Structure 1
């Protein structure tokens, strides 16, 4: 046995456990199990052609050498990305802490109170800095946030006015170029016409429903938009403002100017550049638009005892409910990054943020004044951190790069310089020396900073912000470290126990995969740095694309999409571009099975498609005859089908090749949702089943951490005919020869976390990847058989096997008065996060153990489920005061003097022996969702204040 093989560390079951597991399942070997699970006609005939696997030691040595190919120049490029200082206490205790990065989305609020509080802090920070009324839990990036603002305002105006001709959206020419590109991608399918121009020359025509402005502008100019917004309001035009969040500690916030939406990125609040991401965008709006707001909102409510509790609010807005009627397909957030940004605000507080903003502005003013003494003209009449110098670009660039400095060059006579919090006197003096050398002059030394503002007095912020206690008491490292730990202890993450969520794949995020993310050679590169300065990244990303091509059987890959939902949208837009290139502009029908993820129909609607739902059979499979009938009916206009494989019901449908052939025969393309790709790797692939494009959830199949609900990466892999249409970027061109415009802001999306998937593939190699898939199937079928006789499995394959996940039938328990939610909450008392509740079938649990869980943990989970089944049996519909209905049980309940329950404290908190060794205590009782939605509070203010008002 190769004891240094990474597969040995990643895959849970040991060789000595296999015989017991196989015996339980009723097979002689893993090979037999796979034969009984996967249709033979889609099995790969040859192993994956990948580089040989590496040990952890070999990989870390390799990735360090590769990282050294990236050049760490001092970078002043700006354009929405700035070098930030990541406080060490946040890097060590959040960014590098599995207690934070391995948690799941906080659907089960009672065991996610720590993360929910951190996100509530984030929302409070955004609301107060932007001057708005309500904020969400973050979005994917600034470009996405701008597109969501465009869509929100369109939704609001069309509902208010019901005018079909009101479809123009004004975009200031000051907007960031990557944001404009994302707006161009998103506008056309929903029927919005973009008009790009100078805001000072805007005509406020009735045909416009909204506008977006940049504050400060892309090259630093600061404008007072108060009059523009007021005049727009007179004409019923609502205005969104993309604002630099650090500048809002010093400049008048857009909310005080009357903006309807304020958005941007929080990257400069202690989040690494990472060659473009992941970063947490922010999105704030007026309370009256909350029902149209994209993404997630964290709100305050009460628990069963009336104590304060947090949970995700207004969840009916989510795509799995609204489907093709959803205003957005975004169902995720950049939680880990928003937690970091919120902790940055907590650590620095209002005084610290003002100090940083003042220092950055003072550095820009001082640099302007010093360069003026050398004879250089600065063209911005008002600025915060970015100045534009008239100069010979070619000469400046040559000298700057020789001194390992990057500026941005808008044209041959302009140099744009964006300063950031890392700037010091040595940095300022190096910049001055570069310009002095260009003129052959002696340099001037800076040793003090100017205290004069270089923007109008009317734009100086006078309002207070971040007055809540949380932003004013944790300013020492000891205090913040303890605050972070206190919140962490309220969250159940993968470092405590298995998280068995079906369709969400909470597998191990190996430490060796995570370590390189902290290296400056990887996390400090600007996404628009010259390519020759990012050769390590270019090699890694190209290799990852090559590996994903091989794994999927496709011809090309783009890593640009920042989430699975964004990958869905990208895949559909590429399909539409393909049809349009052939003159088939009329092809706009998307066939989607009734069992599909809710993001599928939402993505199709966003891509301008008409959704036609196809039936599923009683056994959970796609109704092939209904699909055939609808494909033929719509053959002239058929664009695509969207399918998940294995199916959302956890089954490898044997008719899959017939299904894809039907679509091709009728002129459509096949989009495969990659949510369950981890059950294909090494055994089959999307190309083999007949798909044309698939997205991959790198945070599922390829080991990127879930991060409590983000980051995610959703690259798409495509067949040869779709490769020319992969998306580009306006600053650093990417994609195919007929590329669609940008899907997300950065050229390679969240490039930093792509390192994790690269490491996962490099260390597992072809055999390890295949073994991981086999063991995921093994673990799922082991649980299925262990629970047989206690719970029925809703769907199985033709030979009675599950794929990598299964759905447990829980609806009959209603006869005992027990809902599936009761089982989910009771599992918390046993130390487990609930499986997926009521998806894709209401009243069921979907379980996916992944390959990373060992036999001991699988048995512990099964013991818990069997014990709960006995508790269900003992329940009665008349009795609401039972151990299931009262779960979860908190430490406060267990330690009260009076115990008014008809069961013992021991049964409540320690129903099985193993729990005492490692007890997890939920910090609140059941959160009251309805109360919280009726009394919506999304910031740190005490709920009593809102209820009284």
Structure 2
């Protein structure tokens, strides 16, 4: 056995466990299990053509050598991305801590109170800096957040009859170029007409439903938008503002000016540039628009004892539940980055943020004054951090590159310089020296920052912010470290126990995959830096694209989408562009099985398609004859089929190749949802199945951590005929020869975390990847057989096998008064996060153990599930005071003087022996969702706010 093989560390079951597991399942060999699970006609005939696997030591040497090819310049490019300082305690205790980066989306609020509090801090920061009423727990990036703002305002206009048929949206020419490109992509399919122009010349006609402003402008000019917003309001035009979050420390908040939506990025709050991401965008609006708001909102409620508790608010508003009625397909966030940004605000507090913002502004003013003295004049009349200089760009660029400095060159005569948190007096002197050298002048050294301000009094911020205790208490490292640890202890993450969520693939995020994220030659590169400065990135990204091409069997890949849902949208937009190139503009029907992920129909609607749902047969598979009938019915308009494989029901459908042929025969394309790619890699692939495009969840199959609900990366891989349509970027061209406009802001999306998937594939190689898939199937079927006789598996394949996940039936327990939610909450007492609850079938649990779990953990989980099944049998249907209905049980309950429940304390908290060795205590009792929705509070409000009216 090669003990230095990465697969040995990634795959949970040991070699000596294999025979025991196979015997439990009732099969002679792994190969027999795969034969009984996977249809033979889609099996790959040859192994994946990938490079031999590297050991972890070899990989770390390789990634250092590759990283050294990146050149770390001082970057003053701006355009929404800035060098920043990641506070050491935040980097060490959050970014590099599996207690934070391996957590799942906080659907089970009682064991996610720490993360929820951190996100509440983030929302409070956004609400108070923007001056708005409500904010969500982050979106994907600034550009897509602006597009979400446009979609929200477009949706809102239908409530006002006189705006019902108006579809024009004004966009200031000051908008960031990457944001404009994303707006172009998103506007056309939903019927919005963009009008780009000078906001000072806008006529406020009644043809417009909304407008978008940049604050400050893309090259730094700070405008006073008060009169613009007032006139817009008088003409019933809604206003969205894309605002630099740090500038709002010094500028009048858009909410005080009357904005309806404020969006932006929190990258400046201690998040590395990372060649474009991941970064937590923000979205703030008025409370009256909460039902149209995209993303997730963390809200305050109470638990069963009436104590304060947190949970995700307005969950029924989530887009994957609204399906084809959705106005957005976003069902994720950038949680890990939002946690870091919120903690940055906690660590610095209002005084610290003022100091940082003032230092940046004074650096910009000092440099502008020095350049003016040189005779190189700065053009912005008012600015926060960015100045514009007229000069001989060729000479300046040559001198800057010699000093390893990047400016942004607007044209041959204009340079933009954006200052940031890292800028020092030495840096300022270097910048001024570059300009002096370009014009042949000498300068005296600058010894102190200017005390002047260029911000007019009428747009200077006067209102307070971040006055809550949490932002004024943890300013020493000791205090912050302990606060972060306190929150971490309230969360159950993968470092405590298995998280067996079906369709979510919570596998190991290996330390060696994660370590490069902290290396400066990977995390310090600006996404719009010249390509020659990012050679290491270019090699890595190109290699990852090639690896994904091999794995999927396709010809081309784009890494731009920042989430799986965004990947869905990108895939559909590429299909749309392909049909249009063939003159088939009329192809607008998307066939979607009833069992599909809810983001599928939402994405189709966003892409301008009409959804036709196909039936599911009694065995849980796609009803082939119904699909055939509808494909033929709509053959002249058929755009595509959206299909998940293996199915959402955890089965490899034997008819899949027949299904894809039906679609092709009727002129459509096949989009394959890659949510379950963990059950394909090395055994089959989308190209073999007959798909034309698929998205991949790198945060699932390819090991990027969920981080409590993000970051995610959702690249799409496409067949050769779709390669020309892969998306581009307006500043750094990417994509195909006939590329669609941008899907997200950065050229390669969240490039930094692509390192994780690159490491995962590179260290596993062909054999390790294929074994990972096999062991995922083995682990799932092992659980299925262990639970046999206690729980019914709802769907299986033709030979009785599950794929990498299975759905277990819980609906009959309603006869005992027990709901599936009760089982989910009781699992917390056993130290486990619940599997996926009521998806895709209400009243069921979907279990996916992944290949990373060893047999001891699988046994512990099964023992817990079997013990709960016995507890259900003990329940009297008329008695609601039982161990399941009262779950979870907190430490406060167990240590109270009185115990009035009809079962023992031991049964409540320690029902099995293994629990005492490593007990996890839920922080609160069962949360009251209805109370929280009646009393929506999504910031750190004073205690009086929690009192029900």
TM score, norm. by length of structure 1: 1.00
Q: Distance in 2 between matches of 1:758 and 1:296?
A: 29
Query: Distance in 1 between the 2:165 and 2:931 partners?
Result: 40
- Residue equivalent to 2:523: 523
Report how far residue 319 of structure 1 moved: 2.2
d(CA) in 1 for partners of 2:282, 2:434: 36
Q: Which residue of 1 aligns with 2:332?
A: 332
The equivalences for 1:537-936 within 5 A come to 537-936=537-936
For residues 801-853 of structure 1, give each alpha carbon's deviation from its aligned partner in whole angstroms, at most 9, with x where no partner exists.
Answer: 00000000000000011000000000000000000000000000000000000
Q: How does 1:288-437 map to 2 (within 5 A)?
A: 288-437=288-437
Cα distance in structure 2, aligned partners of 1:866 and 1:319: 34
Cα separation, 1, equivalents of 2:316 and 2:891: 31
Partner of 1:592, secondary structure, is: strand
Maintained 8 Å contact 1:319/1:329: yes
Q: State how far apart, in whole Å, the 1-side matches of 2:500 and 2:272 are.
A: 31
CA deviation after TM superposition for structure 1 residue 944, in Å: 2.5
Deviations 1:482-501 (A, max 9, x none): 00000000000000000000
Give 1:259's aligned residue. 259
Q: CA deviation at 1:943?
A: 4.9
Aligned to 1:678, what secondary structure does the other structure show?
helix
Q: Does the 8 A contact of 1:370 with 1:444 survive in 2?
A: no
Q: Is the 8 A contact 2:335 2:709 kept in 1?
A: yes
Separation of aligned partners in 2, 1:526 and 1:936: 39
Aligned to 1:103: 103
SS of the equivalent of 1:591 reads strand
Q: How many pairs are equivalent?
A: 949
For the 8 Å contact 1:215–1:242, the answer to whether it is kept is yes
**2:244 is the alignment partner of 1:244:** yes
8 Å CA contact 1:245–1:266 kept in 2: the answer is: yes
Find the aligned partners of 2:947 and 2:587 in 1 and give their Cα distance: 51
Alpha-carbon contact 1:937-1:943 (below 8 Å) kept: no
Q: Secondary structure at the match of 2:612?
A: strand
Cα shift readout 1:468-520 (whole Å, capped 9, x = no counterpart)? 00000000000000000000000000000000000000000000000000000
Q: Equivalents in 2 of 1:161, 1:61: separation in Å?
A: 64
Q: Deviations over 1:839-892 (max 9, x none)?
A: 000000000000000000000000000000000011121010000000000000
Shift of 1:320: 2.7
Change (3 A) 1:162 1:19: farther
Q: Distance in 2 between matches of 1:88 and 1:513?
A: 20
CA 1:943 to 1:570, structure 2 compared with 1: closer, same or farther past 3 Å?
farther
The alignment partner of 1:106 has SS state of coil
Contact 2:163 2:209 in 1 (8 A): no
**Aligned ranges 1:216-255 → 2 under 5 Å:** 216-255=216-255
Write the distance in 1 (CA, Å) between the matches of 2:321 and 2:345. 34
- Aligned match of 2:46: 46
Partner of 1:134: 134
Residue 259 of structure 2 aligns to a residue whose secondary structure is coil
SS of match in other structure, 1:739: coil
- Determine helix, strand or coil for the equivalent of 1:430: helix
User: What is the rounded CA distance, in whole Å, between the counterparts of 1:644 and 1:163 in structure 2?
Assistant: 39
Alignment of 1:458-477 (within 5 A): 458-477=458-477
Distance 1:621 1:576 in 2: 27
CA distance in 2, matches of 1:158, 1:715: 33
Is 1:432–1:444's contact at 8 Å kept on the other side of the alignment?
Answer: no
Secondary structure of residue in 1 paired with 2:376? coil
Deviation sequence 1:572-616 (CA, Å, 0-9, x none): 000000000000000000000000000000000000000000000
The worse-fitting range, judged by mean Cα deviation, of 661-670 and 447-456 is: 447-456
Deviation at 1:443, TM superposition (A): 2.6
Aligned to 1:448: 448
1:532 aligns with 2:532: yes
Taking the aligned partners of 1:570 and 1:309, their CA distance within structure 2 comes to: 38
C-alpha contact 1:300 1:943 (8 A) present in aligned 2: no
Question: Would the aligned equivalents of 2:157 and 2:164 in 1 still touch at CA under 8 Å?
Answer: no
List per-residue Cα deviations over 1:152-177 (Å, max 9, x = no partner). Answer: 00000122226443100000000000
CA displacement at 1:455 relative to structure 2:
1.7
Contact 2:501-2:846 at 8 Å conserved across structures: yes
1:472-483 to 2 correspondence within 5 Å? 472-483=472-483
Per the TM alignment, residue 318 of structure 1 is displaced from its structure 2 partner at its CA by 1.1
Q: For the residues of structure 1 that align with 2:525 and 2:378, how far apart are their CA atoms?
A: 27
For 2:902 and 2:948, locate their aligned partners in 1 and report how far apart those are by CA, in whole Å: 37
Per-residue deviation, residues 25-83 of structure 1 (Å, max 9, x unmatched): 00011100000000000000000000110000000000000000000000100000000
Alpha-carbon deviations, 1:165-210, whole Å to 9, x = none? Answer: 3100000000000000000000000000000000000011111000
Task: Output the CA distance in 1 between the equivalents of 2:671 and 2:391.
Answer: 50
SS of structure 2 residue aligned to 1:78: coil
Distance 1:445 1:252 in 2: 34
What is the CA distance between 1:123 and its match in structure 2? 0.2
* Number of the residue aligned with 1:73: 73
Contact 2:809/2:844 (8 A) holds in 1: yes
RMSD: 0.7
**Could you tell me how far 1:452 is from its partner in structure 2?**
1.2
Conserved 8 A contact 2:181-2:729: yes
CA distance in 1, matches of 2:320, 2:531: 40
Q: Which residue in 2 is equivalent to 1:155?
A: 155
Tell me how far apart the structure 1 counterparts of residues 16 and 162 of structure 2 sit (CA, whole Å).
Answer: 67
The separation in 2 between residues aligned to 1:353 and 1:148, in whole angstroms, is 28
Q: Is the 8 A contact 1:590 1:609 kept in 2?
A: yes
Name the counterpart of 2:173: 173
8 Å contact from structure 2 (residues 601, 611) kept in 1: yes
Compared CA separation, residues 329 and 943, structure 1 to 2 (3 A): farther
- Residues of 1 paired with 2:947 and 2:895: CA distance? 30
* Distance in 2 (alpha carbons) for counterparts of 1:160 and 1:9: 59
For 1:922 and 1:853, the matched residues in 2 are separated by 23
Q: For the Cα contact (< 8 Å) 2:301–2:946, is it kept in 1? A: no
- Asked if 1:6 is matched to 2:30, the reply is no
- Specify whether residues 824 and 946 from structure 1 end up closer, same or farther in structure 2 by C-alpha distance, changes over 3 A only: closer
Instruction: Tell me, yes or no, if the aligned pair for 1:696 and 1:715 is still in contact at 8 Å.
Output: yes
Query: Measured at CA, do residues 946 and 514 of structure 1 come closer, stay the same or move farther in structure 2, by a change above 3 Å?
Result: same
Cα shift at 1:223: 0.2
Per-residue deviation, residues 104-158 of structure 1 (Å, max 9, x unmatched):
0000000000000000000000000000000000000000100000000000012
